């Protein structure tokens, strides 16, 4: 089915084979064994309509459906301990290719599941998937959040619907010592950004140690970082361009019985420029922007944008102040991210110590063979001069 180049990719255990490396393909999406000449290479989710035509999920022969469900069981078992010890918490149960389940994401918020299916062959198995998730996890509800544009490339419709039980508009879940909100129907991603969970807990620990007076969370969404550091700060400024996200952030602070932060609806680029011009000072600045590089060709432009906000944030730091900065652009490699920070620090005329360099939460597994499974870069910096 695949040509020699496609075979080399699969032998190196990269799961994707593009249309240009396919010699023959079944006419319908499904789960199929993949061969080069007569040699078995993988079991794969195959879609003749999709540019990424083959997405492998196993590299040994076997029954295609059995093997897919085994992978699901394995992913769920790996999170079983966390589920038992923190049922009111949130976690990623399935991280697509990182868990050998192409295009499938399952996030859990306090025993509610939010499922996103981005491959046609797994989409066709949705009823069986919902049954299995129900049998294994007995959740309070399962929501199909099938509204990501990745589905269009697979010829799939966009929709959001409850597939089992009841799923509320807002789910409250615990992260460390705080309550956070996920809005699975209307929020971004599956309702919250679970990939930053461990970095937010690091932020809480750093804030407890450094006791920042004034904090700025510049791309705050529903205030998940801000609420982690707020108990250790005197004053919290929370900024986002989405009024809906800011309203939710206000609720999150109320739920945690914390004083209301200053909520600022603004473009972060404009706000940071104006604050630097006014020589404002913050003891902790958090930058968790959306992806600025959705395609490889965006990287140069994205680097300029990342540098602009980081440079301003560095200028705003009080002596000894902390900058927590992230990039979720897969196309921006870690080396380029650190180089951008080096250039921004140079232009800002600040010396910054690297306190920590991290990635995404451990339940978003990264396969070294599949760089696409890892996308989040995170650095904690301290102004030391």
Ligand X SMILES: C[S@@+](CC[C@H](N)C(=O)[O-])C[C@H]1O[C@@H](n2cnc3c(N)ncnc32)[C@H](O)[C@@H]1O
Q: Can you name the residues that pair with 265 across neighbouring β-strands? A: 240
Taking the C-alpha atoms of residue 361 and residue 198, their distance in angstroms, rounded to an integer, is 6
- In whole angstroms, the minimum distance from the beta carbon of 188 to ligand X comes to 6
Q: Can you name the residues that pair with 238 across neighbouring β-strands? A: 217, 263
Scan residues 218-237 and list those touching ligand X (CB under 6 A).
219-222, 224-225
- In whole angstroms, the minimum distance from the beta carbon of 269 to ligand X comes to 6
Q: What are the two backbone dihedrals, phi and then psi, of residue 166, each rounded to the nearest 5 degrees? A: -125, 135
Tell which one of 97, 107, 198, 240 touches ligand X (CB under 6 A): 240
Closer by beta carbon to ligand X, 100 or else 378: 378
288 binds ligand X (CB under 6 A): yes
Closer by beta carbon to ligand X, 192 or else 215: 192
For residue 23, give the DSSP letter.
Answer: S
Q: Of the listed pieces 141-149, 207-215, 246-254, 261-269, which binds ligand X according to CB under 6 A?
A: 261-269
107 binds ligand X (CB under 6 A): no
- In whole angstroms, the minimum distance from the beta carbon of 212 to ligand X comes to 17
Q: What are the two backbone dihedrals, phi and then psi, of residue 342, each rounded to the nearest 5 degrees? A: -60, -45
Count, residues in the chain: 385
Catalytic residue (choose from 105, 206, 317, 328): 328
Taking the C-alpha atoms of residue 24 and residue 2, their distance in angstroms, rounded to an integer, is 7
> CA–CA distance from 28 to each of 10, 53, 117, 130, 155 (Å)?
21, 11, 17, 23, 12
10 has catalytic annotation: no
**Burial bucket for residue 226 (CB in 10 Å: 0-12, 13-18, 19+):** buried
Residue 188: how many other CB atoms lie within 10 Å:
14
Q: Compose the 196-215 pattern: x for residues touching ligand X by CB under 6 A, - for all others.
A: x-------------------
Q: Of the listed pieces 26-34, 100-108, 121-129, 286-294, which binds ligand X according to CB under 6 A?
A: 286-294
Scan residues 168-197 and list those touching ligand X (CB under 6 A).
192-193, 196
> H or E element: which one contains 243?
helix 243-255
Tell which one of 204, 245, 263, 324 touches ligand X (CB under 6 A): 245
What residues act catalytically?
328
Which residues would be at the binding site for ligand X (CB under 6 A)? 192-193, 196, 219-222, 224-225, 240-242, 245, 267-269, 288-290
């Amino acid at each position: 089915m695949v040509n020699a180049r496609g075979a080399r990719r699969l032998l190196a255990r990269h799961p994707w084979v593009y249309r240009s490396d396919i010699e023959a393909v079944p006419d319908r999406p499904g789960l199929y064994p993949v061969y080069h000449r007569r040699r078995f290479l993988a079991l794969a989710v195959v879609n003749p309509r999709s540019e990424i035509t083959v997405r492998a999920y196993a590299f040994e022969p076997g029954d295609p459906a059995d093997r897919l469900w085994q992978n699901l069981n394995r992913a769920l078992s790996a999170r079983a301990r966390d589920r038992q010890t923190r049922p009111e918490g949130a976690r990623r149960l399935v991280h697509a290719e990182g868990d050998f389940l192409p295009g499938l994401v399952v996030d859990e918020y306090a025993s509610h599941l939010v499922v996103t299916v981005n491959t046609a062959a797994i989409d066709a198995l949705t009823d069986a998937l919902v049954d299995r998730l129900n049998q294994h996890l007995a959740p309070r509800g399962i929501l199909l959040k099938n509204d990501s544009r990745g589905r269009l490339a697979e010829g799939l419709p966009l929709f959001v619907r409850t597939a089992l039980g009841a799923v509320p508009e807002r789910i409250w879940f615990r992260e460390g010592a705080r309550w956070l909100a996920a809005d699975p129907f209307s929020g971004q991603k599956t309702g919250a950004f679970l990939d930053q969970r461990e970095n937010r807990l690091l932020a809480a620990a750093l804030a407890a140690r450094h006791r920042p007076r004034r904090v700025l969370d510049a791309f705050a969404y529903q205030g998940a970082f801000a609420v982690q550091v707020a108990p250790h700060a005197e004053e919290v400024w929370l900024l986002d361009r989405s009024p809906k996200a800011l309203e939710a952030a206000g609720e999150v602070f109320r739920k945690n019985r914390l004083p209301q932060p200053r909520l600022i609806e603004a473009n972060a680029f404009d706000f940071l420029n104006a604050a630097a011009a006014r020589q404002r000072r913050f003891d902790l600045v958090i930058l968790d922007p959306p992806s600025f590089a959705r395609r490889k060709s965006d990287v140069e432009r994205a680097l300029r944008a990342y540098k602009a906000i980081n440079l301003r944030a560095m200028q705003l730091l009080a002596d000894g102040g902390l900058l927590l900065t992230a990039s979720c652009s897969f196309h921006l490699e870690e080396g380029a991210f650190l180089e951008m920070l080096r250039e921004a620090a140079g232009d800002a005329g600040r010396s910054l110590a690297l306190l920590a360099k991290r990635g995404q939460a451990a339940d978003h597994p990264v396969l070294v063979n599949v760089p696409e499974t890892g996308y989040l870069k995170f650095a904690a910096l301290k102004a030391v001069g």
